[in-house]
Structure 1
Amino acid sequence: MKKKILAMAFALASLALPACAENYTLRPGDQLNIVIVQEQDISSNLQNSKETPYTVRPDGTVSFPLVGQIQASGMTVDQFTRYLRDGLSRYYVEPDVTVNIVQLGGVRVHVFGEVKKPGTYELTKGHTIMDALGASGGFTWDAAKKKVFLIHQDDTNKAIKINLNNMLKTGNLKDNLELKEGDILYLTKNGRIDFARDIVPFLSGAYMISEIKDNND
């Protein structure tokens, strides 16, 4: 029975879609549908945006006719909408600007240790620890589910300890943290963990993989 419950949990995790909150900030890879309306629909005069979404470039920018290059990465949808509206107001009277995210960009995370398919995975931004574990096939029977470590790329000296066992038993998902670009998830074996021996070797390897991929994109 426990096996079936765990299998279902990871199947659901791999299918789950992240919710777009109001404070979601744009990032490279996000695709935006932009519609501008004023007396007549002027979107087609700028670009056929209903058919061709605007993509946030790797450097975080979006180019829009008349407004120019916008540093969109880090803006919320509302902030980006206001920026566009202000820029277009120089050419149109009170333009009605609507911006929707049609597809979220991805984040690369590295899953190592006691999982069935360790490796680097690209997940949609907003996905969580459970989603990454689902993508990597779930944990092995040797995994110490009370000792899952999350390491952020911008703070490799600190490992956040996650009690996956508690999450699965209680359904309390407060520790099911959203993953960021370059995050490492490491599932230890049952037994004592040695950070220097068991985790540090994966840090340089993971970021080397990321650097190589970036240079070849």
Structure 2
Amino acid sequence: MKRFLTVVFLLLSFGGVAFAQEVAPAAPVVSVEQDYHLGVADKVRILVYDEPTLSGEFLVNANGSISMSLIGDVRAQGRTASDVAEEIRAKLADGYIRAPKVSIDVLSFRPYYILGEVKKPGQYPYSSGLTVLNAVATAEGFSYRAGRKFVYVKRAGELKEQKIRLEASTLVSPGDTIRIGERFF
């Protein structure tokens, strides 16, 4: 009997290894689409190849610009990173550097804001793929008076907030203001 149990144990132990399935690799980090428009408080890394003194990390200032040595201010607000990189390239090529190569990466996005019936309303850092429910969780959840059917979202650059049905897939964008309303009963 002991021998039988030993054989069964060994078969189960090694059988589990033989039939184990490979774990799928982690999903790649999702980046914001190429058409993301820069705004105030976005932090970017600008690389001018073979020119370390011009490369570095820059913040889009309150005027919506990035200040660089040699070429001065470059308007960034409302433009894509590739558009800004092309303007920097053109300005550097205009008498400063022959055939410059410029790339821009967004390091951190402008924050989003959550207001209303959450436990800790305020400003929070944006991360790619953020949903309204993630934002509520970051603000430590709904208050006891929170309405949980609709949410009000004011997108960056828009004047009016939109009333949106609260769903798990509702995405937040950098600079959004989310307001959780009060329920009536």
After TM superposition, is the score higher than 0.5? yes
Task: Report the RMSD for the aligned CA atoms in angstroms.
Answer: 2.6
Q: Secondary structure in 2 aligned to 1:87?
A: helix
Q: Secondary structure in 2 aligned to 1:70?
A: strand
- The correspondence for 2:182, drawn from 185, 188, 193, is 188
Partner of 1:56: 60
Q: Matches of 2:132 and 2:30 in 1, distance apart?
A: 12
- The correspondence for 2:97, drawn from 80, 92, 101, is 92
Cα pair 2:44 2:57 within 8 Å, conserved: yes
Q: Secondary structure in 1 aligned to 2:82?
A: helix
Shift >6 Å, 4+ stretches:
none
Cα pair 1:121 1:135 within 8 Å, conserved: no
User: Is it true that 1:163 corresponds to 2:166 in the alignment?
Assistant: yes
User: Is it true that 1:43 corresponds to 2:52 in the alignment?
Assistant: yes
Structure holding more helix per residue: 1
How many residue pairs end up in the alignment? 152
Give the percent of matched residue pairs that are identical in Structure 1 and Structure 2.
20
Unaligned runs of 5+ in 1: 1-16, 168-172, 192-217
- The correspondence for 2:77, drawn from 68, 73, 79, is 73
Q: 1:108-166: per-residue Cα shift (whole Å, max 9, x none)?
A: x23212x3x14223332754312321112122566442x2221427115xx413134xx
Cα pair 1:66 1:87 within 8 Å, conserved: no
Alignment of 1:10-159 (within 5 A): 19-37=31-49, 41-44=50-53, 46=54, 49=55, 52-90=56-94, 91-107=96-112, 109-113=113-117, 115=118, 117-124=119-126, 127-140=130-143, 143-145=146-148, 147-152=149-154, 154-155=159-160, 159=162
Structure holding more strand per residue: 1
Q: Matches of 1:19 and 1:134 in 2, distance apart?
A: 21
Q: Matches of 2:36 and 2:116 in 1, distance apart?
A: 28
Q: 1:152-199: per-residue Cα shift (whole Å, max 9, x none)?
A: 27115xx413134xx3xxxxx1xx1324646242243364xxxxxxxx
How far did 1:78 drift? 0.6
Paired letter, 2:104: V
How far did 1:80 drift? 0.6
Cα pair 1:150 1:160 within 8 Å, conserved: yes
